[in-house]
């Protein structure tokens, strides 16, 4: 929908101060368009009107109170409760940003207002659904699904990751600095659990999180299909926000998953809920039959970058080394594929894996040959040492004989002759 340029400027000023995410900006824009259309005025005109009344007219007598009350009724009649509350809140925020004082609005009964049924555990994507989603997806989306479901990263943080972030996260398993060497080092390794350092955009908080080995394999599989140059600051997942959302909608449509809570069942945020809920759930140890409790909710919050509050964040710090041990123990609850089966791998992945195995076998042959050569060299040295000892014994015997038969000068000349001959024999 079109918006007056002056109203666009209002959002521009707010966005410059508040640094909204793209979706947040779109939400404010839609709310502003909806509000101004019901009022038949631009937001600029409405702000000017409210500013004239501000602190001069009692709140209950202001035009703004009447406008907002009427708009609130309109929202409850036409939208579900969550959307209605969100849109009213957006408009109140715009007024408040420009210094307009507001008080409470008239009470409106919630009876009859459309309310989406609550989201439950059964509505989360199951492992079977995630398997199907991966089966119908190209390597890029497969890698994203593996990563988000095992790391709990939100969309914005996932799409901001770079090649350098991936190298850093897997550094425990290699000493490489280039992406090609890193992929070569990781391709034959198993049970790799990287540690990603993430800045959560929503809370402006740094935190650590981890992902599964199948996510690592999915990322390697995807990177090997890419044809662009992989620089350190290149995005790990080459996809726009718009196309990202489209891909999730398409999977939801193909798998006929429908809607829950007023939204598609298969959206990226559901993978974040899948991650948190499955880590928290208790499970039965297959060997002992004993129920093992899930991870602590505070630790799961830490893995998803949720803040504790300014004061608590200043005094209480998360021990991510300890959390990682708990995460690895709980990891089977997140894994999508049967651990006895391989994840789908591209031709490029299989080729690199074969190449790395061939190189590894070649290195083993060289090491074996070197060991064999060292053994032979050792035997040769032992033979030469024995021969040298025998020659020295012979020389000593000759010296003794000569000493008994010749005078001094003859003995010296003869011994020199024998020594030279011994050297030639060696």
Confidence label for 344 from pLDDT (cuts 50, 70 and 90): very low
Contacts of 221 (CB under 8 A, 6+ apart): 139, 142, 143, 343, 344, 345, 346, 348, 349
Nearest Cα residue to 124 out of 328, 333, 327: 333
Average pLDDT of the segment spanning 247-266: 94
Q: What is the pLDDT of residue 188?
A: 86
Convert the pLDDT of each residue in 210-220 to its tens digit: 999 999 999 99
Q: Which one has a higher pLDDT value, 114 or 219? A: 219
Q: What is the pLDDT of residue 210?
A: 97
Average pLDDT of the segment spanning 3-20: 91
Q: What is the pLDDT of residue 225?
A: 94
pLDDT of 414 higher than 60: no
264-268 long-range contacts, Cβ below 8 Å, gap at least 24? 265/123, 265/125, 266/125, 266/129, 266/133, 268/148, 268/154, 268/155, 268/158, 268/244
Nearest Cα residue to 335 out of 143, 129, 150: 150
237-240 long-range contacts, Cβ below 8 Å, gap at least 24? 237/140, 237/143, 237/144, 237/158, 237/159, 237/161, 238/140, 239/140, 239/144, 239/159
Nearest Cα residue to 266 out of 164, 131, 369, 157: 131
Buried b (16+ CB within 10 A) or exposed e, 264-297: bbbbbebbbbbbbebbbeeeeeeeeeeeeebbee
CA distance 96 to 276: 35
Average pLDDT of the segment spanning 203-225: 94
Convert the pLDDT of each residue in 58-107 to its tens digit: 999 999 999 999 999 999 999 989 899 999 999 999 999 999 999 999 99
Q: What is the pLDDT of residue 388?
A: 66
What is the rounded radius of gyration, in angstroms, for the C-alpha atoms of the chain?
Answer: 37
121-345: which CATH number, 1.20.1530.20, 1.10.443.10, 3.30.470.20, 3.30.497.10? Answer: 1.10.443.10
Tell me which of 188-197, 230-239, 343-352, 382-391 is least confident: 343-352
Length of the chain: 426
pLDDT of 35 higher than 80: yes
Average pLDDT of the segment spanning 234-249: 96
Q: Are 324 and 193 in contact (CB under 8 A)?
A: yes
pLDDT of 255 higher than 50: yes
Supply φ then ψ for residue 246, to 5 degrees.
-60, -40
Q: Is 284 helix (H, G, I), strand (E, B) or coil?
A: strand
pLDDT of 405 higher than 60: no
Q: What is the pLDDT of residue 368?
A: 58
- The token pair at 409 is 């000068």
Contacts of 210 (CB under 8 A, 6+ apart): 150, 151, 193, 194, 195, 196, 303, 324, 327, 328
Largest CA distance in the chain: 142
Q: What is the pLDDT of residue 33?
A: 95
CA distance 319 to 310: 18
pLDDT of 418 higher than 50: yes
H or E stretch at 75: helix 63-78
Nearest Cα residue to 152 out of 243, 258, 276: 276
Buried b (16+ CB within 10 A) or exposed e, 135-165: eebebbbbbbbbbbbbbbbbbbbbbebbbeb
Tell me which of 30-34, 87-91, 179-183, 374-378 is least confident: 374-378
Cβ burial of 116 (10 Å; 0-12, 13-18, 19+) is: middle
Q: Are 91 and 32 in contact (CB under 8 A)?
A: yes
pLDDT of 108 higher than 80: yes
Q: Are 382 and 388 in contact (CB under 8 A)?
A: no
CA distance 123 to 128: 13
Give the CA distances from residue 353 to residues 88, 217, 338, 349, 357, in Å, rounded to whole numbers and listed in that order.
Answer: 56, 11, 21, 6, 6
* pLDDT mean across residues, the chain: 85
Q: Which one has a higher pLDDT value, 385 or 179? A: 179
CA distance 121 to 277: 8
Strands 263-264 and 259-260, sheet pairing: antiparallel
Q: What is the pLDDT of residue 402?
A: 46
Q: Which one has a higher pLDDT value, 103 or 115? A: 103
Entry pTM: 0.73
Average pLDDT of the segment spanning 400-413: 53
Tell me which of 30-39, 82-91, 232-241, 280-289 is least confident: 280-289
Q: What is the pLDDT of residue 21?
A: 82
CA distance 384 to 137: 68
Average pLDDT of the segment spanning 44-49: 96
pLDDT of 118 higher than 90: no
- CATH 1.10.443.10 domain locations along the chain: 121-345
Nearest Cα residue to 148 out of 214, 202, 192: 214
**% of residues, the chain, pLDDT over 70:** 77
Q: What is the pLDDT of residue 201?
A: 84
pLDDT of 390 higher than 70: no
Distance of CA 276 to the CA centre of its chain: 15
pLDDT of 316 higher than 90: no
């Amino acid at each position: 929908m079109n918006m007056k340029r002056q109203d666009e400027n209002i959002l521009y000023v707010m966005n410059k101060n508040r640094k909204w995410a793209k979706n947040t900006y779109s939400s404010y824009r839609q709310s502003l368009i909806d509000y101004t259309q019901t009022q038949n005025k631009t937001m600029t005109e409405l702000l000017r009107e409210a500013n004239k009344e501000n602190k001069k007219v009692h709140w209950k007598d202001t035009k703004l109170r009447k406008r907002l009350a009427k708009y609130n009724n309109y929202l409850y009649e036409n939208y579900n409760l969550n959307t209605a509350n969100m849109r009213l809140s957006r408009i109140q925020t715009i007024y408040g940003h420009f210094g307009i004082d507001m008080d409470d609005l008239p009470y409106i009964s919630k009876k009859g207002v459309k309310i989406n049924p609550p989201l439950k555990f059964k509505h989360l994507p199951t492992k079977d659904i995630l398997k199907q989603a991966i089966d119908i997806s190209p390597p890029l989306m497969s890698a994203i699904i593996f990563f988000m479901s095992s790391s709990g990263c939100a969309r914005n943080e996932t799409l901001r990751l770079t090649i350098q972030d991936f190298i850093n996260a897997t550094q425990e398993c290699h000493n490489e600095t280039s992406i090609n060497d890193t992929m070569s080092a990781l391709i034959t390794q198993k049970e790799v659990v990287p540690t990603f350092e993430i800045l959560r955009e929503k809370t402006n908080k740094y935190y650590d999180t981890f992902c599964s080995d199948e996510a690592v394999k999915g990322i390697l599989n995807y990177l090997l299909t890419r044809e662009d140059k992989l620089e350190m600051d290149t995005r790990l997942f080459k996809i726009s926000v718009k196309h990202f959302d489209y891909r999730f909608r398409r999977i939801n449509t193909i798998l006929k998953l429908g809607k829950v809570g007023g939204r598609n069942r298969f959206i990226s945020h559901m993978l974040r809920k899948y991650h948190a809920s499955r880590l928290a759930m208790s499970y039965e140890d297959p060997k002992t039959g004993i129920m093992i409790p899930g991870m602590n909710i505070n630790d799961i919050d830490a893995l998803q970058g949720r803040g504790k509050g300014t004061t608590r964040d200043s005094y209480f710090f998360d021990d991510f080394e300890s959390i990682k041990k708990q995460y690895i123990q709980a990891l089977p609850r997140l894994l999508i594929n049967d651990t006895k089966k391989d994840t789908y791998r591209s031709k490029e992945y299989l080729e690199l894996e074969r190449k790395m195995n061939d190189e590894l076998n070649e290195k083993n042959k060289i090491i074996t040959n070197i060991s064999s050569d060292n053994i032979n060299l050792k035997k040769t040295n032992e033979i030469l040492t024995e021969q040298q000892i025998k020659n020295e014994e012979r020389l000593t015997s000759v010296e003794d004989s000569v000493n008994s038969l010749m005078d001094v000068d003859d003995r010296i000349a003869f011994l020199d002759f024998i020594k030279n001959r011994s050297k030639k024999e060696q």
